[in-house]
């Protein structure tokens, strides 16, 4: 009986090894997303595509910073080309940073309350590219 259980266990283990998830393929950028959050003293959770935060006295600096981060990429070597969609220029200090970029943002009473970024991600092994956009909003919850 013990031999039978061992054979069943071996067969089960073999079946599991055949159904394992396929590893991510180089050049597959389909899962990439651009997340963002606006820095406050709250626990700011990055969100894909857009994010928002509200300023009130004591909860954040105004102006503050909006942080953008590329997620969902398989292991590999990538280049990042960032563009501030409001100015059409590369944001200062972002360059070819490894998937993240921080920019200043002020509420709508002290600026426009918005930061819009685009990043073109290129897989350096395959040349595959993906363009991602996200918008951060910073609202004035006091004035």
* Residue numbers in the chain where pLDDT is lower than 70: 1-26
Closest-CA residue to 45 (of 32, 35, 54): 35
Quote the CA–CA distance of 39 and 102 in Å, as a whole number.
Answer: 10
**Under CATH, to which class is 2-140 assigned?**
mainly beta
How much is the pLDDT for 9?
Answer: 36
Closest-CA residue to 94 (of 71, 128, 117): 117
* pLDDT tens string 64-75: 999 999 999 999
Quote the CA–CA distance of 63 and 27 in Å, as a whole number.
Answer: 38
Which H/E stretch holds residue 118?
strand 114-123
Radius of gyration of the chain (CA): 22
How much is the pLDDT for 30?
Answer: 96
- Is residue 128 a contact partner of residue 122, using CB atoms and an 8 Å limit? yes
- Is residue 34 a contact partner of residue 130, using CB atoms and an 8 Å limit? no
How much is the pLDDT for 26?
Answer: 57
pTM for this one? Answer: 0.78
């Amino acid at each position: 009986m013990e031999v039978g259980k061992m054979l069943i266990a071996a067969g089960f283990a073999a079946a599991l090894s055949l159904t394992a998830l396929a590893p991510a393929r180089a050049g597959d950028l389909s899962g990439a997303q651009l997340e963002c959050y606006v820095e406050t003293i709250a626990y700011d959770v990055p969100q894909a595509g857009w994010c928002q935060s509200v300023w009130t006295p004591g909860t954040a600096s105004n102006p503050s910073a909006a942080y953008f981060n590329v997620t969902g990429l398989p292991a590999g070597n990538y280049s990042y080309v960032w563009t501030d969609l409001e100015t059409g220029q590369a944001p200062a200090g972002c360059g070819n940073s490894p998937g993240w970029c921080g920019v200043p943002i002020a509420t709508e009473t002290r600026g426009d309350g918005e930061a819009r970024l685009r990043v073109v991600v290129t897989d350096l092994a395959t040349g595959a590219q993906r363009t991602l956009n996200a918008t951060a909003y910073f609202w004035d919850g006091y004035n």
